[in-house]
Amino acid sequence: MIQIELKARVANPAAIRGSLAGFMSCHGSIDKNDEYWIVPLAVKDSSFYGGSFRVRIRQEPGKVLVTFKEKSYQEGLEVNKEVEFGVSDGASFRQLLEKMSAKLHYRKRKMGTLWKLGERITAELVNVEDLGDFLEVETIFEDGSDLDLREIRSLLLDVVTRCGLSDHDLEPRPYSQLLGVL
């Protein structure tokens, strides 16, 4: 899958929540506890972070998801080619990572609300622990889809502007960089 997203800093979450309620449907609360693990590669490949890659373990109420991705930035968007799957036992998966000489790199927690606009666009109004409040707007496509990134950026930016935010509020840096753990 290909995930494309914009995120913006939010000074007044209550005002954003009110704006979202005017044109999107609320799909409840979210609580995402993420762990990012660095896994060394058996075969060195310079296209990865110093001969390693990252794996995210996300704990949400009632489920554990594992994700790895190829991240890029294009047209002012974060474009991620992701592979994601569920595991029934997060502790056992962590043991597997440790057996592969992986190391826990950092943790991140996001809490907030999930919003949807039709079938394609989702928004999360979240508080990221130690960083503050953000509006994340995204859409997902299947691998191999024909993507017009300018059109997608326009659709995502429309959600941001309808919430009273502007280009100046956009945060182009990944959370890992904001947390100082790049």
Q: What is the pLDDT along the chain (182 residues), one digit of tens a residue?
A: 999 999 999 999 999 999 999 999 999 999 999 999 999 887 665 554 556 789 999 999 999 999 999 888 888 898 999 999 999 999 999 999 999 999 999 999 999 999 999 999 999 999 999 999 999 999 998 877 788 889 999 999 999 999 999 999 999 999 999 999 97
Position of tokens 């991240």?
71
Please report the pLDDT score of residue 51 as a whole number.
61
Nearest-5° Cα angle at 67, 124 to 29:
25
The strand pair at 121-128 and 52-60 is best described as unpaired
**What residue ranges do the domains of the chain occupy?**
2-178
d(CA 161, CA 182): 29
Helices (H), 1-148: 13-23, 90-99
State the DSSP string of 139-168.
EEE-TT----HHHHHHHHHHHHHHTT--GG
Helices (H), the chain: 13-23, 90-99, 149-162, 175-178
Q: What class, spelled out in words, does domain 2-178 have in CATH?
A: mainly beta
Please report the pLDDT score of residue 40 as a whole number.
87
Beta bridge partners of 113: 29, 125
Please report the pLDDT score of residue 182 as a whole number.
75
- Name the pTM for this structure: 0.91
Residues 6 or more apart whose CB falls under 8 angstroms from that of 97 comprise 37, 39, 55
